[in-house]
Structure 1
Amino acid sequence: MKADFLKYQAQTTPHPLSMEVQRAEGSYIYDTSGKRYLDFVAGVSACSLGHQHPRVKKAIKTQLDKYLHVMVYGEYAQSPAVQLTKLLAQHLPDPLESTYLVNSGTEAIDGAIKLARRATGRTEIIAALDAYHGNSYGALSLMSNKERTAPFRPMIGDVSFIKFNCDRYLERITVKTAGVVLETIQGGAGFVVPTNGFLNKVKKRCEEVGALLILDEIQPGMGRTGKLFGFEHYDVTPDILVTGKGLGGGMPIGAFTASHAMMTLLSDNPKLGHITTFGGHPVIAAAALATLREITESNLMADALKKEKLIRSLLIHPLIKEIRGSGLMLALMTPSAHIASDIVLRCQDEGLILFWLLFETRAVRITPPLTISEDEIREGCATILDVLNYVVED
């Protein structure tokens, strides 16, 4: 299978990890030889309830017996999508009440950019340096890393950048700005959390000049930080909220949410201001609804903070310079990119799945399922410490 994978399936890097997956369940993935791997990545924060969660599986199977795709998004009322968007509204502060369901986080970012420009009549979009919002042209245009964008230029126009957590850049948000797009916690940059009321200051500046604040919760959302959405930790409410990844419980989904009045702007002048064939797909919406219900009806969010404390208490080693992030969105900071890469690769050999971050090459990602047990955390952390001791010997 590996040979065919490399020959026939388009790749994202020259050297993919190439594990041949047979099955996955709970916090573990099994390869075709039967080897078991403890999953400390959860599909890059997507499998919020682990693998094959019973509630999600049941919702998928129940919907499979009713209907699959029946019509392009927004024309027919379909129960899974209606229930999902209603439940999201019930767990969001005003005025976030109307949700547009799409197929991925990057599509949701594109939709949010379009909505901000449509609502304000302005064109400038401001993003943060070292941000990552996806790889469609709209989302990619919000990336400051020229090495990654140069081969695909030109990007969409009228995009500029500010530095995350740096107040002196706020004056760049002006009456020409349609929207400011920020990750609530910067992911690819190294799980950088907002400090000194930065998000509040951005929101205040947006209000002063009539711009919209768009918060990207694709990674920190769905309980990963101990609250349903990361912005709840910082006493700020975005004008447009973007979600994805963990909302689907392992199924592909994205969404952007705003006030009902703002969202109606995409339905007229012109009609079909945003359109998708498979957004709100009934099977995927059913999985997302089950995921959202499980997260909000259980102790998973409170437990995420307890599990964070456990991880921080266990992972003490001279090669761990810092642990960044919040809840179960954590990054081990090592002295060098070489050491970080060595940890990821050696841990996979030892049956533990870790991963890298996009821009901060010294970081090692730890984003396990919210359902991971304390015993599994201890098992994984012990493996990391063993590997770190081996790296020291090198």
Structure 2
Amino acid sequence: MLSDQTIAIVKSTAPVLATHGETLTRHFYQRMFSHNPEVRPFFNAANQSAGLQQRALAGAICAYAANIDNLGALRDAVELIAQKHASLQIKPEHYPIVGENLLASIRDVLGEGATDEVIDAWAQAYGFLADILINREAQIYRDLASVDGGWEGFKAFEVIKKQRESDVITSFYLAPKDGAPLPHFKPGQYITLRLPTPDGQTTMRNYSLSDMPGQNWFRISVKREDGKGAKVPGGFVSNHLHKAIEPGAVVEVAPPCGEFFLDVTKASERPLVLLAAGVGITPILSILLATLETTPNRPILFVHGCLNERTQAFKETIDQLAQKYPNLTTHYRYSEHDAGAALQGENSSIGFIDQDLLDQLLPSHDGEFYFCGPQPFMVNVYHDLLDWDIPPAQIHFEFFGPRQALDTKPGATSRAA
């Protein structure tokens, strides 16, 4: 356990770190990639260029400093980090690399404020948190390897099918090269692909599983990103998959991970509300399919927001499910409806997924909410649910970006589908 003195020193640095957080984390990543280039493949170059990872780490450091005397408040954040680390195969030997570079960056950025006493306190605090994460990740690795069909590390998978879902989204069906059975993942989780890069290195990406558990394949549905405007071109992996990966290709896959999932073994009488925007439909569709399979009578509201019909994936699948299951209500929301095209049916409309729409579709405001999509959509839905006083235990989301971005309530004009 940390001493009272260490806790007091770390908490006292929280305001300073909040002020200099992103400067600190930018310095940290630059230093680490310079001194320890072997860890670079664990990080997304496009996210580095956009500053997403720097902001996310800055927020995590500030949250740890502010709550170091109440780590229970960080339980969900620790689980998210541990699951992400396990998906990328972060191991105990990587923690000293991060610790050394982080402490050096604190000393360099804070200057005279980084006394030996402050550095010693942060070294103890980092070591304490590292032990928590290492132990949790070890348990995750054991669990992943011990289930039927489970494994640890990366394993060769063959692309057995490639299917176009929309103008921008393509599905890839992956089966183990060795013919072994697949583990039963939790609907909403993701897998990690590791692919070679043109410079002879490797890069990794997480992709949500878009099919239901229990199949003889893993399905991922990937949006092709153009990466326009970025200093480091984004979308390398998505474009490589779309353009170069065909049936018969072999890719490396790590086991399913993630803390965002629906536990289908815990039945609930509340309506299930599934909200997706764009390619955020991938984990939401897996949750929908699993729920219909296991609890076919549970009331479900499914809402999918898209730019237009051409970019919308899985509409035919959803329509077929709605015809088969009377407990499933669906609605499609288009922000840029194709000119001259007629909306099909009463379950389509023009606009954004906003509180007015949700009021119309769910006037009772009762439900278990799962949502995933681009950041503006996520921020708006999150605050809409808070405005409805939905208990936190009924709000579940997969958010790709700095968690603190959810905390700022958006303006009325920042809606996004």
After TM superposition, the score normalised by the length of structure 1 is 0.29
Q: Which has the higher contact order (CA 8 A, sep 6+)?
A: 1
After TM superposition, the score normalised by the length of structure 2 is 0.28
Going by fraction, where is helix more abundant, 1 or 2? Answer: 2
